[in-house]
């Protein structure tokens, strides 16, 4: 696919890229220094900036991607990607930002909000961590089989938000990356978490794309298992029979589960419906919202099978999701919301239940699976936990405001996590981006709930 719809700000030639990670620090920035600086940022709310007091806007006054350092690393073509691959120190010591659209919407001032700029600013300001942008809406269509292994070998992957809707493929018209392309990319990213891979953080539209990807992956697993007559080395067919029993159960529930809004409207019935994973929110949320602990629904009142609710309660008890802990210990957590669609609570409860059933069914037969056409199932998450909700007054508006995706290694039993959030931890309450608003100081970021939560997710994820 050729380049089109290029933004005004073109990427600098790769010859102008910094080949040593870091911009503010006097030495090279790397995993250890970034991790230490994130920890220092989170240690309290008052300590001074440990980095040199230099402006990030000195060489790039408008703080635009591709207009100067530290935002020179923009991957728009295969040639850019090949140059990056030849310089592994760059991607291994940086955050990869996946940008599905040119902005996440317009703020109350009418400004287009390119939130990826704030991700890059916060990471550089508090930890001198470089960012590499993949503007999928304007770049050449790059092969996920090449891009995903590269970006997951870095410090973190952030899938940003965007103005289009996951419910309507036509809203992606005009971009170089279709909704289907994004689904394929996110599915590949979800099954790439390993002991050597980076944390993935999916924000807003990314959160919704991840929700749909969960359903797509589970549906693909069920169809493949049920479509097989036999498997090599499956003695007496025991493994396939066990897997088929679980997949038949998942298929029955997935085909009949209803998605019901708080006003009683049924917007989807069964996992083949286009709004099973993501639907329109009752209220458009723009501005600061307080995060609340997620509360299990009343299954009888809401028509949700109790097995799905109980499985989620077990997941929540087994795993720590960082965001829920922050709500508990970081006083009130107020954070920027900017969306009109929401991930459906029932879909995530269903996905968690399905992943747990599949994982438990695979454990006794994992060595046989590992050498079979179903080996990719070993890469699926073990569980998903809904972490928090938001309210307007006393009314819950977004039940599933964030999730923790848990991957439990079959052999080491160690757990790894990625996160999704409907809110924007990288945006301050004014919903403005760096370059249009006064760049926030280290002290201001240190006291901002969103910036602290963003830093904490990076800090925790880097330890896994």
- Tokens at 311, concatenated: 């499985």
The overall average pLDDT reported for the chain is: 91
The residue length of the chain stands at 464
- Predicted local distance difference test score (pLDDT) of residue 192: 97
pLDDT band at 283 (very low <50, low <70, confident <90, very high): low
Instruction: Assess contact for 402 and 422: CB atoms under 8 A.
Output: yes
The C-alpha atoms of residue 212 and residue 229 are separated, in whole angstroms, by 28
Whether residue 133 sits in one domain with residue 89: yes
Residue 315: give the domain boundaries: 211-421
- Predicted local distance difference test score (pLDDT) of residue 325: 82
Instruction: Assess contact for 213 and 186: CB atoms under 8 A.
Output: yes
Residue 245 predicted with pLDDT over 90: yes
Domain contains 177: yes
Whether residue 391 sits in one domain with residue 439: no
Percent of the chain at pLDDT > 70 equals 95
Domain count, the chain: 2
In terms of DSSP H, where are the helices of 227-304? 238-256, 299-302
Alpha-carbon dihedral of residues 250, 252, 255, 260, nearest 10 degrees?
Answer: -90
The predicted model gives 143-159 an average pLDDT of 97
Domain contains 2: no
Residue 332 predicted with pLDDT over 80: no
Tell me which H or E stretch contains 126.
helix 116-127
In terms of DSSP H, where are the helices of 160-237? 179-190, 205-226
Domain contains 4: no
Domain contains 5: no
- Tokens at 302, concatenated: 């809401």
Q: Half-sphere exposure of residue 391, counting CA atoms within 13 Å on the CB side?
A: 10
Domain contains 3: no
* Cα–Cα distance list, 184 to 62, 152, 156, 180, 453 (Å): 34, 16, 19, 6, 28
pLDDT band at 15 (very low <50, low <70, confident <90, very high): confident
SS3 (DSSP) at 285:
strand
Total Cβ atoms within 10 A of residue 460: 18
Whether residue 380 sits in one domain with residue 260: yes
- Tokens at 298, concatenated: 């009343």
The predicted model gives 40-47 an average pLDDT of 95
- Tokens at 279, concatenated: 């639907």
Instruction: Assess contact for 251 and 227: CB atoms under 8 A.
Output: no
- Predicted local distance difference test score (pLDDT) of residue 350: 98
- Predicted local distance difference test score (pLDDT) of residue 4: 35
Whether residue 102 sits in one domain with residue 32: yes
Per-residue pLDDT reduced to its tens digit, 204-224: 999 999 999 999 999 999 999
- Predicted local distance difference test score (pLDDT) of residue 262: 81
Per-residue pLDDT reduced to its tens digit, 403-430: 999 999 888 889 999 999 999 999 998 8
Whether residue 404 sits in one domain with residue 380: yes
- Predicted local distance difference test score (pLDDT) of residue 420: 97
Whether residue 234 sits in one domain with residue 200: no
φ, ψ (nearest 5 deg) of residue 120:
-65, -40
Residue 132's DSSP bridge partners are 96
Residue 370 predicted with pLDDT over 90: yes
Whether residue 303 sits in one domain with residue 193: no
Residue 450 predicted with pLDDT over 70: yes
Whether residue 351 sits in one domain with residue 263: yes
The predicted model gives 335-341 an average pLDDT of 75
- Tokens at 152, concatenated: 């997951």
Whether residue 408 sits in one domain with residue 324: yes
Longest dimension (CA), the chain: 69
Whether residue 307 sits in one domain with residue 261: yes
Q: Please give the residue that has the higher pLDDT: either 9 or 89.
A: 89
Domain contains 6: no
Tokens 């309660």, residue located: 313
- Predicted local distance difference test score (pLDDT) of residue 396: 84
Tell me which H or E stretch contains 158.
strand 156-159
- Predicted local distance difference test score (pLDDT) of residue 248: 98
Per-residue pLDDT reduced to its tens digit, 377-411: 999 999 999 999 988 777 888 999 999 999 998 88
Per-residue pLDDT reduced to its tens digit, 284-320: 666 678 888 999 998 887 889 999 999 999 999 999 8
What residues contact 170, with CB distance under 8 A and at least 6 apart?
none
- Predicted local distance difference test score (pLDDT) of residue 294: 94
The C-alpha atoms of residue 361 and residue 358 are separated, in whole angstroms, by 5
Instruction: Assess contact for 158 and 201: CB atoms under 8 A.
Output: yes
- Predicted local distance difference test score (pLDDT) of residue 200: 98
pLDDT band at 331 (very low <50, low <70, confident <90, very high): low
Tell me which H or E stretch contains 32.
helix 31-43
The predicted model gives 77-100 an average pLDDT of 96
Domain contains 55: yes
Whether residue 301 sits in one domain with residue 412: yes
Domain contains 7: no
Residue 9 predicted with pLDDT over 60: no
Burial of residue 132 (number of CB atoms within 10 Å: 0-12, 13-18, 19+): buried
Tokens 């709500």, residue located: 327
| Sign, CA torsion 152/77/134/210 | negative
The predicted model gives 38-60 an average pLDDT of 94
Whether residue 375 sits in one domain with residue 245: yes
């Amino acid at each position: 696919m050729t380049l089109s719809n290029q933004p005004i700000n073109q990427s600098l030639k790769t010859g102008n890229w910094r080949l040593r990670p870091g911009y503010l620090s006097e030495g090279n920035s790397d995993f250890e220094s970034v991790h230490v600086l994130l920890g220092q940022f989170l240690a309290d709310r008052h300590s001074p900036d440990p980095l040199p007091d230099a402006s990030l806007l000195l060489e790039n006054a408008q703080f635009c991607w591709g207009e100067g350092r530290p935002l020179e690393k923009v991957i728009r073509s295969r040639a850019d990607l090949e140059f990056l691959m030849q310089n592994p120190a760059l991607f291994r010591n940086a955050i990869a930002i996946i940008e599905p659209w040119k902005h996440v919407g317009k703020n109350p001032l009418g400004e287009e909000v390119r939130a990826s700029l704030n991700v890059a600013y916060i990471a550089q300001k508090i930890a001198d961590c470089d960012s590499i942008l993949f503007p999928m809406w304007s770049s050449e269509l790059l092969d996920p089989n090449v891009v995903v292994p590269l970006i997951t070998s870095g410090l973190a992957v952030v899938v940003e938000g965007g103005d289009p809707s996951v419910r309507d493929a036509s809203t992606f018209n005009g971009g170089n990356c279709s909704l289907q392309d994004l689904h394929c990319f996110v599915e590949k990213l979800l099954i790439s978490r390993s002991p050597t891979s980076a944390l993935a953080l999916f924000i807003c539209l990314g959160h919704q794309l991840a929700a749909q990807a969960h359903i797509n992956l589970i549906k693909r697993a069920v169809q493949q298992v049920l479509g097989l007559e036999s498997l090599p080395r499956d003695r007496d067919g025991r493994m396939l029979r066990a897997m088929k029993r679980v997949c038949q159960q998942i298929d029955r529930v997935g085909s009949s589960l209803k998605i019901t809004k708080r006003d009683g409207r049924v917007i989807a019935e069964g996992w083949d419906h286009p709004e099973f994973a993501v639907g329109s929110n009752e209220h458009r949320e723009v501005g600061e919202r307080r995060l609340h602990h997620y509360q299990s629904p009343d299954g009888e009142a809401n028509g949700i099978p109790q097995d799905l609710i109980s499985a989620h309660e077990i997941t929540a008890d087994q795993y720590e999701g960082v965001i829920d802990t922050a709500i508990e210990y970081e006083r009130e957590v107020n954070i920027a919301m900017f969306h009109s669609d929401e991930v459906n609570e029932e879909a995530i409860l269903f996905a968690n239940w399905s992943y747990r059933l599949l994982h438990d069914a695979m454990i006794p037969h994992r060595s046989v699976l590992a050498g079979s056409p179903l080996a990719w199932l070993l890469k699926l998450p073990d569980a998903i936990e809904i972490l928090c909700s938001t309210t307007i007054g006393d009314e819950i508006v977004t039940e599933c405001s964030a999730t923790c995706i848990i991957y439990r290694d079959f052999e080491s039993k160690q757990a790894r996590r990625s996160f999704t959030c409907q809110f924007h931890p990288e945006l301050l309450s004014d919903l403005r981006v760096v370059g249009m608003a006064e760049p926030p100081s280290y002290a201001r970021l240190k006291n901002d709930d969103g910036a602290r939560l963003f830093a904490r997710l990076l800090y925790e994820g880097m330890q896994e």
